[in-house]
Structure 1
Amino acid sequence: MDNAIDHAPLHHDGDSGIGVVVCHGFTGSPHSMRPWARHLAAQGWSVRLPLLPGHGTSWRDANRTTWQDWYTEVERAVTDLRRHCTSVYAVGLSMGGTLALRLAQQHPDLAGVVLVNPAVTMLRWDAKLLPVLGMVLPSVPAIGNDIAKPGVDEGAYPRTPVRAAASLRRFQAVVRADLPKVAQPVLLYHSANDHVVEPVNSEIVLKNITSADVQEVVLQDSYHVATLDHDAPRIFDGSVDFIRRLSS
């Protein structure tokens, strides 16, 4: 795997009627999702991997954005794919999974969703203080590169933008409240050892969505950024099988 950090978005037009929106996580960038996006594109599918506003530059830029900005970007990708695709899927890591869930809530005709360690709540005791902290403290040390595989860098910000994190927390509340609206097929991967997103996040998703077609896969050999970790090939191949089955 090429470890050179590349924050650029990925835009690929395939030769089939299948389209996939790939959503990266909070303070991350397309770098953490690029191998997965390329694997999906290699199937002949159209793929959009946008760079979310305020990401891939400086954490200070993230503090100037909100969850509405991030969601607008991935929704724009869905609109773009619908111009020439008969079925559109959404896949995402961490907050990218939250964005994918929101797409499913807002677009009932979305064909399916693949989630990796989705983030729909924050259990840290200080999470509720984020709106106040954001007024006096622009950033805090980040917990990045939660990857079991040695020598891999996800290219995330070295600090967590507090105002942006407060907006993320508000977004999570919106998505949690609307989880019953998710009725599409769902494939959910979650790591047994995730030091960023607590396991209860996946439990909340699985308990509250109304999908009849749900697959849960526990990843034993990866930490939070599983898309760059030991289980990445399993995620890539499993998502292809999932989409092929639904599109057949």
Structure 2
Amino acid sequence: MTSAKVISGAEHFFFPGNSIGILICHGFNGTPQSVRYLGESFAAKGFTVFAPRLSGHGTDEFEMEACHYQEWIQEVETAFAELKKRCTNVFAIGQSMGGALVIDLATKVACDGIITINAALQVPDYEKYRNKSFPRFILEGKPDIKADNVKEIAYDRVPIKAVNQLLTIMEHTDAQLQKIICPFMLFHSPEDHVVPDSCSHHIYETVLSDDKELISLEDSYHVASLDHDKDYIIETSYRFIQKHTNQAKSVPLTSLTK
């Protein structure tokens, strides 16, 4: 099957920098565009930043329909491995489903720390479609962003098959929480109309990390990386990363392609 064309602006991005690598993972029905402001800001601070585009995202809903959640897991693991070749320290940041994916990642590799933004372990509006095959597509509402005049690249409808892949990865990740021991920072929006705020509290209370922080985003909805608190996320994450970094020389950098 021929791959659909990537929507302009939805491409993966890579910014070479110092020996500290940051992997940023977007959410379900999102693209790297939704986390690009974060990526550019971290790159401006000198970090090496990579945000992969997950399969089926940023092209069309028919390509998403053919995806399996194990592909998304593998793509995040591959992105981490690419950064690890170039960097001494690697941190992983994930928004929404991306939060679930970086939690899963941290059960398998030695992350120097993980940061989640409204990590998704439940999406109540999708529960009625669990194990269903009809309708084929589900209409999506406007992205959950408090700030005005902000655009997120996303499909107007998503396949029910993909929704069930999301439900599976969230259930899978929930079962892995007690394996998490690395430093962990969790951002959560008390007013989130997609993922219950209780998800972040549950994660915080369940993981076994000795160093963990739960931080409230009082002026943002679900897609906080594009909302009013995005600069607060960057500055607070920067302090977390600096705290958990051993300064070391990086190996020579080369361009990433995907």
TM-score (norm 1): 0.93
Structure 1 residue aligned with 2:21, among 19, 22, 46? 19
Q: CA deviation at 1:77?
A: 0.7
Distance, in Å, in 2 between the alignment partners of 1:163 and 1:131 is 9
Unmatched segments (≥5 aa) in structure 1:
none
Q: Is residue 144–residue 157 contact of structure 1 (8 Å, CA) maintained in 2?
A: no
Distance, in Å, in 2 between the alignment partners of 1:222 and 1:163 is 29
Query: Where do residues 66-215 of structure 1 align in structure 2 (5 Å cutoff)?
Result: 66-107=68-109, 109-124=110-125, 127=127, 129-132=129-132, 134=133, 136-215=134-213
Q: Is residue 18–residue 45 contact of structure 1 (8 Å, CA) maintained in 2?
A: yes
Which deviations, in whole Å up to 9, do the C-alpha atoms of 1:10-30 show, x marking residues without a partner?
01221x211111000000101
Which stretch has the larger CA shift, 157-166 or 115-124? 115-124
Summarize the Cα distance change of 1:45–1:8 in structure 2 as closer, same or farther, 3 Å threshold.
Answer: same
Match of 2:32 in 1: 30
Q: CA deviation at 1:209?
A: 0.5
Q: Is residue 143–residue 196 contact of structure 1 (8 Å, CA) maintained in 2?
A: no
Q: CA deviation at 1:123?
A: 3.4
Q: CA deviation at 1:5?
A: 6.4
Distance, in Å, in 1 between the alignment partners of 2:201 and 2:215 is 12
Distance, in Å, in 1 between the alignment partners of 2:108 and 2:48 is 21
Unmatched segments (≥5 aa) in structure 2:
1-6, 247-258
Q: CA deviation at 1:128?
A: 5.4
Identity %: 35
Q: CA deviation at 1:121?
A: 2.2
Match of 1:10 in 2: 13
Match of 1:61 in 2: 63
Distance, in Å, in 2 between the alignment partners of 1:247 and 1:163 is 40
Match of 1:233 in 2: 231
Size of the aligned set, in residue pairs, is 240
Amino acid corresponding to residue 12 of structure 2 in structure 1: P
Q: Is residue 22–residue 92 contact of structure 1 (8 Å, CA) maintained in 2?
A: yes
RMSD: 1.5
SS at match of 2:122: coil
Distance, in Å, in 1 between the alignment partners of 2:105 and 2:42 is 19
TM-score (norm 2): 0.89
